[in-house]
């Protein structure tokens, strides 16, 4: 991994570190309106997926697919939204959002719909207890908290 990797301040502010996957840092967006996770490849000076080395592109695709499947199982979602925008935060980060037909923004995109609703500590602990064993089993992640 890149020794000089540093998480962008926007991602530090809005994200809760959940796990280190082989390539990516997995964050939970501190918005309990949605199961919203963010994967950040631990590489420096990369804004878009095509800028990753090809081995890292393949590793990212594997991790993203596994995380998507785990999240859909964990939350029993109806649709997985995966998006890499980066217009405001230039560090490559990819959103993985579990959607439900009864979520507060369905069927619209979630951006700008509602103010962030931070997790209560008890909610966060329950989420980690459910999710972290699944990540460890499938991907072999290391928890960060």
Cβ neighbours of residue 141 under 8 Å, at least 6 residues apart? 19, 20, 21, 26, 132, 135
For the segment 119-132, what is each residue's pLDDT rounded down to a tens digit? 999 999 999 999 99
DSSP state of 118: P
The CATH number that applies at residue 113 is: 3.30.428.10
Helices (H), the chain: 9-14, 54-75, 121-138
Domain presence at residue 142: no
Average pLDDT, the chain: 92
Number of domains within the chain: 1
| Residues of the domain holding 117 | 9-137
In percent, the amount of the chain with pLDDT more than 70 equals 94
Domain presence at residue 143: no
For the segment 67-111, what is each residue's pLDDT rounded down to a tens digit? 999 999 999 999 999 999 888 899 999 999 999 999 999 999 998
Domain presence at residue 67: yes
Q: Which pLDDT score, from 0 to 100, does residue 144 have?
A: 56
Domain presence at residue 145: no
Domain presence at residue 1: no
pLDDT at 47 > cutoff 80: yes
pLDDT at 143 > cutoff 60: no
Q: Which pLDDT score, from 0 to 100, does residue 93 have?
A: 96
With residue 99 as reference, give the H or E element that holds it: strand 94-99
Take residue 45 and report the two structure tokens written for it: 């000076």
């Amino acid at each position: 991994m890149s020794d000089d990797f540093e998480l962008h301040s926007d991602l530090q502010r809005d994200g809760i570190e959940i796990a280190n996957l082989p390539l990516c840092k997995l964050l939970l967006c501190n918005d309990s309106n949605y199961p919203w996770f963010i994967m950040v490849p631990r590489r420096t000076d990369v804004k878009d997926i095509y800028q990753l080395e090809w081995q890292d592109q393949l590793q990212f695709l594997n991790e993203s697919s596994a995380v998507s499947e785990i999240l859909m199982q964990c939350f029993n979602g109806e649709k997985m939204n995966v998006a890499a925008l980066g217009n405001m935060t230039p560090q490559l980060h990819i959103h993985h959002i579990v959607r439900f037909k009864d979520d507060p923004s369905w069927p619209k995109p979630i951006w700008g719909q509602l103010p962030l609703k931070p997790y209560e500590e008890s909610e966060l602990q329950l989420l980690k207890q459910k999710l972290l064993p699944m990540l460890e089993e499938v991907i072999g992640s290391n928890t960060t908290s």
